[in-house]
């Protein structure tokens, strides 16, 4: 212990420094070692391999809504009738909880494509099948906690914070879209 620097009383000794350095290194090492465990719970590569999906629009009649499964999520495709389009376009943005113009949500007004998952807590809103509730605004209604969506899939009433999400898609030709 002859080589140990004398304790000046203000700073620490060499031994204190080594103690702090070793403890910090061990803490950083432990922190780094946690990451593989945490990251193993993130989506695996096969899940991440983004599937794209082509949807044939030609058999969908005006006023008809269909549901397709894309990346294990339901996607609503709605062939909107002119009155529904007008209703969506004529809604004042000030009436909206999550203001977004109908034109920003569609590529062609007659085709509304959205991820069919309520933005509240992830239920599938009703309105895709004949006879289901459409909610107070003629769009969709989530039965779990009572969120109402309008004919553009925008949240109008209830606990959901945002509009139904529009997935990335493109028109391959006039009657086919590709999701993803």
Partner 1 sequence: MAGGPSREYNNRLIRWVEYRLPIFSAVEATIGRDMPTPKNLNYWWSLGSVLFLALIIQIATGIFLAMHYVPNGAMAFDSVEQIMRNVNYGWLLRYVHSNSASLFFAAVYIHILRGMYYGSYKAPRELLWIIGVVILVLMMATAFMGYVLPWGQMSFWAATVITNLFSAIPWVGESLTTWLWGGFAVDSPTLQRFFSLHYLLPFVILGVSLMHVWALHVHGSSNPVGISARSKQDTIPYHPYYTSKYMSVIGIALIILAFLVFYEPNFLAHADQFKPADPLQTPPNIVPEWYFLPFYAILRSIPDKLGGVIMFGGSIAILFLVPWLDTSRVRSARFRPTYRYFFWIFVLNVILLGWVGAQPPEGAALVIGRLATAYYFAHFLIVLPFVGWFERPRPLPESISKPVLKSGTPAAEAAE
Question: Residue 145 interacts with partner 1 (CB under 8 A)?
Answer: yes
Counting every residue written for the chain, the total comes to 180
Binding status of residue 73 toward partner 1 by CB under 8 A: yes
Helix (H) or strand (E) holding 176: strand 176-179
Would you call 145 a catalytic residue per the annotation?
yes
Is 47 a binder of partner 1 (CB under 8 A)? yes
Phi-psi region of 108 (alpha: psi -120 to 50; beta: other; left: phi over 0): beta
d(CA 98, CA 106): 16
| Residue 35 found at the interface with partner 1 (CB under 8 A) | no
Q: What's the token pair of residue 102? A: 């109908």
Q: Does 41 bind partner 1 (CB under 8 A)?
A: yes
The secondary structure element, H or E, covering residue 75 is strand 73-79
User: Which one of residues 64, 71, 100, 134 is an interface residue with partner 1 (CB under 8 A)?
Assistant: 71
Nearer to partner 1, 88 or 119 (CB): 119
Among the residue ranges 21-29, 58-66, 69-77, 80-88, the one whose residues contact partner 1 (CB under 8 A): 69-77
Active-site annotation holder among 79, 120, 145, 148: 145
């Amino acid at each position: 212990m002859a080589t140990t620097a004398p304790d000046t009383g203000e700073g620490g000794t060499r031994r204190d420094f080594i103690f702090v350095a070793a403890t910090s290194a061990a803490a950083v090492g432990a922190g780094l070692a946690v990451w593989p465990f945490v990251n193993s719970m993130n989506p695996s590569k096969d899940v991440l391999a983004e599937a794209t999906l082509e949807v044939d629009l030609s058999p969908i009649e005006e006023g008809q809504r269909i549901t397709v499964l894309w990346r294990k999520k339901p996607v609503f495709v709605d062939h909107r009738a002119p009155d529904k389009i007008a209703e969506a376009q004529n809604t004042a943005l000030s009436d909206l909880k999550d203001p977004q113009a109908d034109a920003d949500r569609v590529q062609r007004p007659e085709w509304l494509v959205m991820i069919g998952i309520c933005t509240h807590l992830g239920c599938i809103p009703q309105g895709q099948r004949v006879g289901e509730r459409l909610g107070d605004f003629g769009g969709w209604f989530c039965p779990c906690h009572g969120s109402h969506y309008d004919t553009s899939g925008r949240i109008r009433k209830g606990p959901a914070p945002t509009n139904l999400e529009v997935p990335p898609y493109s028109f391959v030709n006039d009657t086919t879209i590709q999701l993803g």
